[in-house]
């Protein structure tokens, strides 16, 4: 880690929590389940909440000309109103156990995060924002002796990577409007599409899928030019987007279109995204009430998928070695779809418990766990998008009775294709005004599949690394605690 990078981070005050995009926003209770992204508008107490409305939605946001400043206190107050500085510190410790081995040898991980930001609003029509992240895991050793049996987090755990010390740019963008009718955001910015609670197949622009069990969305922003045209009379929003990530020449710039519409009680979104060397993607997402239930669904169609499809059987016995065959699938239309429902059951005067379920169909997935080691070698082992059929369920109890600062969550995700699953319980509480505590415990169950994976490779003499064979014990229980403080 170079000292220059630390100096840049300290000077720029980069980073804050990942903000959720302006489309398909779930209800507030969903934030309690899946981690409310502390947007720049709500994180710092000194930031007025009406600024975004002035920039992106008011019919007539009239600029205010400040009166001449006559005192140092007045000048400081004016500067503070134009620039907000803040962030978030997330300290955590996770412990992963497996069905075999000694507890003292089971791995620990502590991927701590420091997010800092600068939020400048010189007037009510312009906003500049920069945020970044320092990530530090003190459990990572810098010598080769750090490698032990099971010395890394299980591949099926839904946590971030263990990278020791690193810095990264999360957001760097500028927002402004054109004639109060067209709103432009340019730069690295957060975005999320889709209505699903566990799966978002129409979230086309992010380079990775969201972890639905994370306390908050830890993905970094995407470099975009986004043009937003609201049609307030209809309650519609239209977007035209240029994807600039990695575009070192014009032909590599991607494009996307999106329309969000209110149709009676239903919210409908139509999406399109395309880019050279990437699939053409079409998507539709919808959410609407149906009796006591809130229904949500997504459908994504992809054409031109360049990843290979593997078939056959993988046998790692050196006396009977068998490898899978591959075939192209770029001429096919492949589909992913979710369908979910949620119901709230009231008790007491103002309390309710929420139950939800969601099914996910993934045509790009596999029906069996046999090829998982091969997919890992090919870099195509993608948790939660590996199997063909999934089911997720959850129960949420937030602020029950006199426990106004507590939230209890039980979640279960099952890969129906390989019959493995993950059961998790989360507890969250507000200890002080700006300090939260969270704890979780998860249990891996079922057959040897995605969430309960094991592997045994016989010894292969003469092959580096396989002289003594390889054995991976299936994960059993993961536990973790964390503290989040707003800065």
Number of domains in the chain: 1
Q: Closest by alpha carbon to 140, among 154, 151, 156? A: 151
Query: Tens digits of per-residue pLDDT, 6-48?
Result: 333 333 333 333 333 344 433 444 444 444 444 443 333 334 3
Query: And the tokens for 131?
Result: 């945020």
3-state secondary structure of 173: strand
The pairing of beta strand 293-311 with beta strand 325-347: antiparallel
Query: What are the residues whose beta carbons fall under 8 Å from the beta carbon of 26, sequence distance 6 or more?
Result: 34, 195, 197
24 touches 193 (CB < 8 A) = yes
CATH number at residue 421: 2.40.160.10
Query: What are the residues whose beta carbons fall under 8 Å from the beta carbon of 18, sequence distance 6 or more?
Result: 37, 170, 190, 216, 217, 218, 219, 220, 221
- Kindly tell me the sign of the dihedral angle through the C-alpha atoms of 388, 299, 195, 353: negative
The pairing of beta strand 435-446 with beta strand 280-290: unpaired
The separation between CA 294 and the C-alpha centre of its own chain, rounded to angstroms, equals 22
Q: Which domain holds residue 406?
A: 3-486
Query: And the tokens for 479?
Result: 């536990």
Query: Tens digits of per-residue pLDDT, 271-309?
Result: 999 999 999 999 999 999 999 999 999 999 999 999 999
- DSSP H or E stretch at residue 407: strand 406-415
pLDDT band at 127 (very low <50, low <70, confident <90, very high): very high
Q: Is the pLDDT of residue 54 over 90?
A: no
296 touches 357 (CB < 8 A) = no
Q: Which position has the token pair 């415990």?
A: 441
Query: Tens digits of per-residue pLDDT, 196-243?
Result: 999 999 999 999 999 999 999 999 999 999 999 999 999 999 999 999
| pTM of the complete model | 0.79
pLDDT band at 67 (very low <50, low <70, confident <90, very high): very low
DSSP letter, residue 219: P
The DSSP-derived string for 346-388 is: EETTTEEEEEEEEEEEETTSBS-STTHHHHHHTT---TTSSBS
Q: Distances in Å between the alpha carbon of 61 and those of 54, 81, 128, 373?
A: 5, 17, 18, 57
């Amino acid at each position: 880690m170079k000292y220059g990078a630390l100096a840049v981070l300290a000077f720029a005050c980069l980073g804050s929590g990942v903000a959720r995009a302006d489309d398909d926003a779930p209800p507030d209770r969903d934030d309690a389940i899946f981690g409310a992204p502390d947007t720049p508008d709500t994180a710092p107490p000194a930031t007025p909440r009406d600024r975004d409305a002035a920039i992106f939605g008011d019919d007539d946001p009239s600029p205010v000309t400040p009166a001449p400043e006559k005192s140092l206190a007045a000048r400081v107050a004016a500067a503070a109103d134009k620039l907000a500085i803040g962030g978030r510190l997330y300290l955590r410790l996770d412990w992963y156990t497996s069905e075999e081995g000694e507890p003292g040898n089971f791995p620990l991980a502590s991927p701590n995060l420091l997010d800092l930001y600068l939020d400048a609003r010189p007037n009510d029509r312009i906003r500049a924002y920069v945020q970044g992240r320092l990530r530090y895991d003190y459990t990572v050793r810098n010598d080769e002796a750090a490698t032990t049996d099971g010395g890394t987090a299980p591949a099926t755990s839904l946590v971030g990577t263990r990278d020791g010390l690193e810095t990264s740019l999360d957001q760097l963008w500028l927002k402004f409007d054109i004639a109060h009718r067209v709103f432009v955001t340019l730069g690295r910015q957060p975005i999320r599409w889709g209505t699903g609670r566990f799966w978002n197949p129409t979230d086309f622009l992010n380079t990775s899928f969201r972890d639905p069990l994370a306390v908050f969305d830890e993905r970094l922003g995407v470099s975009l030019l986004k043009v937003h045209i609201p049609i307030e009379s209809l309650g519609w929003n239209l977007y035209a987007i240029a994807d600039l990530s990695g575009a070192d020449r014009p032909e590599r710039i991607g494009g996307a279109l999106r329309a969000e519409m209110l149709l009676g009680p239903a919210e409908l979104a139509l999406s399109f995204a395309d880019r050279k060397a990437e699939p053409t993607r079409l998507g539709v997402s919808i959410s609407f009430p149906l009796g006591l239930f809130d229904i949500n669904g997504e459908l994504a169609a992809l054409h031109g998928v360049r990843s290979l499809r593997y078939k056959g059987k993988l046998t790692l016995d050196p006396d009977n070695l068998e490898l899978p065959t591959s075939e192209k699938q770029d001429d096919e239309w492949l589909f992913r779809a979710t369908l979910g429902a949620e119901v709230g059951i009231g008790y007491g005067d103002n309390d309710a418990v929420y139950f939800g379920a969601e099914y996910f169909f993934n045509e790009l997935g596999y029906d069996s766990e046999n090829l998982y080691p091969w997919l890992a070698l090919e870099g195509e082992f993608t948790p939660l998008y590996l199997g063909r059929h999934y089911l997720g369920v959850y129960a949420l109890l937030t602020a029950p009775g006199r426990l106004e600062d507590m939230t209890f969550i039980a979640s279960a995700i099952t890969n129906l294709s390989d019959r493995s699953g993950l059961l998790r319980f989360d507890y969250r509480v507000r200890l002080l005004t700006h300090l939260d505590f969270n704890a979780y415990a998860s249990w891996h169950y079922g057959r040897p599949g995605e969430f309960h994976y094991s592997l045994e490779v016989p010894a292969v003499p003469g092959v580096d690394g396989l002289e003594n064979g390889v054995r991976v014990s299936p994960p059993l229980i993961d536990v973790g605690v964390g503290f989040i403080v707003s800065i």
